[in-house]
Amino acid sequence: MSRGVFSCPKMPAKKKKSKQINLLPQEEFAATPVGRTLTWVLSTFRIIVITTEMFVMFAFLSRFWLDAKLADLNEEIRQKQGIITAFSDFERTFRASQEKLKIVSTAKLQNKNLGLILTEITSTLPVDIVLTSISFGQNGINISGNAPTEQSVSQFMANMKANEVLKKVSLGPISQNTDDNALLSFSLEVSL
């Protein structure tokens, strides 16, 4: 066999790979538990940083909308305070009127037959007696008056006791009238 010269087609020369510096080599280090943990931590922190930046940008941009909303609300509060101030006198008058109506309706409910009772009292009144005051309480009616004689007072009491509407009549103190010595002042208590 002869040794001859072999001729090979020329092959292009291999390009040299440029080596890049990689702090996390992919080949051996990535397969180790420390390499996998480090890769996971870096990718997770990247996601956390991006999410935080998005949240900060959203908060910064929404601040302008919130400031405008706050200004609108403050203006609305000032307008409503002006309306309340304008109607405060009317409100006070209205509440006072309602309070008076409440008192009248309560008195009306408590003394349903007030007109009937006054009619019954005046129908039993002798001609010579003058009533000075009639006051209505929770327990009954207090009647004060002036009479020329004790017989007129006893007749008035007898007439009231005979009446079916007026239940219990009791005589209070009888004294000399301070304005006119000819008259007697008396008081009666009527239970309803």
Q: Does some domain include residue 21?
A: no
**What's the domain range around 185?**
112-191
Asked if residue 41 is part of any domain, the answer here is yes
User: What per-residue confidence (pLDDT) applies to 12?
Assistant: 60
pTM here is 0.43
* Alpha-carbon distance values, 136 to 60, 111, 153, 167 (Å): 72, 9, 20, 15
Q: Decide if 157 is inside a domain.
A: yes
Instruction: Classify residue 102: in a domain, yes or no.
Output: no
Whole-number pLDDT of residue 182 = 81
Shared-domain flag, residues 131 and 178:
yes
Burial of residue 151 (CB within 10 Å: 0-12, 13-18, 19+) is exposed
Q: Is residue 98 part of a domain?
A: no
- What pLDDT is stored for residue 3 in this prediction? 58
Over the chain (192 residues), what is each successive 10-residue block's mean pLDDT?
Answer: 56 65 63 82 90 94 92 95 90 91 75 72 86 80 88 87 79 83 86 72
43 within domain boundaries: yes
Q: Would you state the pLDDT for residue 51?
A: 94
Q: Is residue 2 part of a domain?
A: no
Q: Is residue 118 part of a domain?
A: yes
Residues 184 and 116 occupy one common structural domain: yes
Number of domains in the chain: 2
Q: What CATH number does residue 171 fall under? A: 3.30.1360.100
